[in-house]
Amino acid sequence: MRNIRFSRKQLCIPYALFLFCFVILPLAVIVYYAFTDGSGRFTLANLVSFFTNGNTIGTLCYSLVIAAVVTAVCLLVAYPAAYVLARSGLRRGPVILMLFILPMWINFTLRITALKEILTVLEGNLSLHPFLNTVIAMTYDYLPFMILPLYTTLLQLDESLLEAAADLGAGPAAVFLRVTLPLSMPGVVSGIMMTFLPAMTNYVILDMMYNSTYIMGSLIGSYFNIYDWNNGSMISLILFAVICIVTLITGRGEQNNAENRGAVL
């Protein structure tokens, strides 16, 4: 009986099992399909066809552009808001923050449906600006994910550092650019990752906003719909690679500050 000792390591077993069954295994299946043809023979044709087909490359670019624009807009909107909430000592700061977060408690399809109605009133006809509408809807959906990490890092900012900078002769702009901004970079990076990555793949919002141009997610879906699992898997794998690259690039500058990484990520 003694040798069945319960050690702390064993607490990881459920997670490891989960990881294996639902992350590693499916990924292995995707890799298998991506590098085989319809009859199961190894091939690189799927990879080659991705990079030689104007449609797939164009779709990748379109997805990247959407994701980049959404992330940029989110950052531009969220940073000042988070800064004000965290730094200006508003008594009701947390309440206002709650107002930003509140929409997340409501199912997103419902929120997007409501947004559709509002935009219809504003624009008259949704079909006239599909790209703009997509960006608005995604920004709306992902804004809390940008604000939260920014808010937490800005909140933890050491006031004395700012005072020191000011004492040493830095004007407000210099204090912001040389102290506040660099110190809040961990929050910025978390925010970017939490908006860029889903914006890259979320095609439900596009669908709901009547943007009839495919992005990566819908392209993968269309391949699976016609039983072309091999090309579909290859596109998924490439999307996965793109996301890995983005994560690496944004994460690299942050290694020095690893211990400061916002409380959210």
Partner 1 sequence: MTAEKKTDQISCRKGGRLRGRSFRLLAGTAALLTVSLSCPQGGAIRVSAAPASGQTEKSEDKVTLRIANWEEYIDEGDWDEEEAIDLDDREGTVILGENSMVEDFEEWYLETYGVEVEVEYSTFGTNEDLYNQLTLGNEFDLVCPSEYMFMKLIAEERLQPLSEEFFDIENEQNYYVRGVSDYIRNIFDTNTINGEPWSRYAAGYMWGTTGIVYNPEEISGEDASHWSILADPRYKGQVTIKDNVRDSYFAALGILHEEELLQPDFINSADRLERIADLMNRTDADTVSAAEEILKQMKENAYSFESDSGKADMVTGKVLANYQWSGDAVYTLDQAEIDDYYLAYAVPEECTNVWFDGWVMLRDGVGGDGAKQQAAEAFINFMSRPDNVVRNMYYIGYTSVVAGGDSDIIYAYADWCYGAEEDAQDTIEYPVGFFFSGDSSDPDYVITAEADQAYRQLYAQYPTQDVLERAVVMQYFDQENNQRINQMWVNVRCFNLASLTGQDWAKIGACAVVLAAAAVIFRKRDDIFRRRDR
Percentages helix, strand, coil for the chain (3-state, rounded to 5) are 80, 0, 20
CA separation for the pair 195, 197 (Å, rounded): 6
Taking CB under 8 A as the rule, does residue 52 contact partner 1? no
Taking CB under 8 A as the rule, does residue 248 contact partner 1? no
DSSP helix/strand/coil, 258: helix
Minimum CB–partner distance for residue 91 and partner 1 (Å): 33
Minimum CB–partner distance for residue 217 and partner 1 (Å): 13
Taking CB under 8 A as the rule, does residue 170 contact partner 1? yes
Q: Is the CB of residue 176 less than 8 Å from the CB of residue 157?
A: no
CA separation for the pair 138, 215 (Å, rounded): 14
Q: Is the CB of residue 140 less than 8 Å from the CB of residue 199?
A: no
CA distances for 85 relative to 93, 99, 153, 191, angstroms:
5, 12, 12, 16
What residues from 121 to 160 belong to the interface with partner 1 (CB under 8 A)?
A: 125-128
Which of 92-100, 139-147, 172-180, 253-261 is the region at the interface with partner 1 (rule: CB under 8 A)?
172-180
Task: Say which residues have a Cβ less than 8 Å from residue 249's Cβ, sequence separation at least 6.
Answer: none
Q: Is the CB of residue 249 less than 8 Å from the CB of residue 71?
A: no
Among 46, 218, 233, 236, binds partner 1 (CB under 8 A): 218
Taking CB under 8 A as the rule, does residue 40 contact partner 1? no
Query: For partner 1, which is the closer residue by CB, 117 or 158?
Result: 117
Which of 39-47, 139-147, 165-173, 247-255 is the region at the interface with partner 1 (rule: CB under 8 A)?
165-173
What residues from 80 to 109 belong to the interface with partner 1 (CB under 8 A)?
A: none
Binding site residues, partner 1, CB under 8 A: 54-59, 61-62, 120, 125-128, 169-171, 173-174, 177-178, 207-208, 210, 212-214, 218-219, 222, 224-228
